[in-house]
Amino acid sequence: MSTFAPLERVEVCHAVAPRDRILVRGGDALDFLHRISASATGGPEPRHLVLTDDKGALIDAPLACPFEDGFRLVAGPGRGPDLAAWLEKWIIVEDVRVQPDPQEAWRLGEPELVAGDVVRPRTHAGPAVLLGGVAPSRVDLPEWDAANFRAGRLYSGPATASGPNPLELGWKDLIAFDKGCYIGQEVIARMDTYDKVRRGLSIAALVAPLAAGTALSVAGKKCGRVLSSVVLDEGVFAWVVVDKSLAAGVQLQAGNEAGGTLLQAPSPASG
């Protein structure tokens, strides 16, 4: 069974691309985000907002930073265009404008790597972010993803682009079950109320890289899917969502081929 060297700290930073920096402005910005988000939006502190479609599939969980005229959103890597289009879709008559954010930003492996205007969210769907300035130890996206995989940190971005349900990711504590209606509420509330979350987050060692969304099976029975593959020096690994009944060491198939080995039992929902 292939294994990899874990990290306790992520000592690198990654630039937030312009497409992943979004401003939501206007007199109705707060009410608008409250209406469409599964998360609580009130209060001055920055937080990640879980945004889902009407089937409960994750769109993104951007870091939302309040400012005087609205919110600065830092989308997961590569998720900005889809997030902006989805926000635009749900503007009805509100005084809301979705615009590019010109301010540079950096994702930080650890918040104390730099001094400056560091946003330290209490939520866990993404890292701390430096607004403005220049971060040290900058790496590209594959190296950033690899470092966070070694540290066991699943963030919004490539690993969530296939639209998993946030409850499958263990993000129950990011959802405000006591708030009013939001997009995807019926599905998420039903899954939670009737204990319908049958799959959980895990990691696997793969035979070869598999595309996000690839179906996985055990003994011919479908058991989950790949979220994203990660290539490390030790081999190919992946974030996966699989049946909670599976144990570490089970052999996974991808189609009719050997897919890999489950390295740990799926995590239960948090919160």
Contacts of 110 (CB under 8 A, 6+ apart): 9, 10, 11, 128
Instruction: Tell me what pLDDT residue 38 has.
Output: 97
Instruction: Tell me what pLDDT residue 93 has.
Output: 87
How far, in whole angstroms, is CA 230 from its chain's centroid? 15
Q: What is the pLDDT confidence band of residue 179, given thresholds at 50, 70 and 90?
A: confident
% of residues, the chain, pLDDT over 70:
98
Instruction: Tell me what pLDDT residue 79 has.
Output: 98
Residue 230, both tokens: 């990660």
E strand or H helix at 141: helix 141-150
In the chain, at which residue ranges do the beta strands (DSSP E only) sit? 13-15, 21-25, 47-48, 51-52, 58-60, 63-67, 70-74, 97-100, 105-108, 118-119, 128-131, 199-206, 215-218, 221-232, 235-243, 251-254, 257-262
Instruction: Tell me what pLDDT residue 180 has.
Output: 82
Instruction: Tell me what pLDDT residue 271 has.
Output: 39
CA distance 59 to 164: 9
How far, in whole angstroms, is CA 140 from its chain's centroid? 18
Q: What is the pLDDT confidence band of residue 269, given thresholds at 50, 70 and 90?
A: very low
For the entire predicted model, the pTM comes to: 0.94
Contacts of 125 (CB under 8 A, 6+ apart): 48, 50, 61, 63, 76, 155, 156, 171, 174
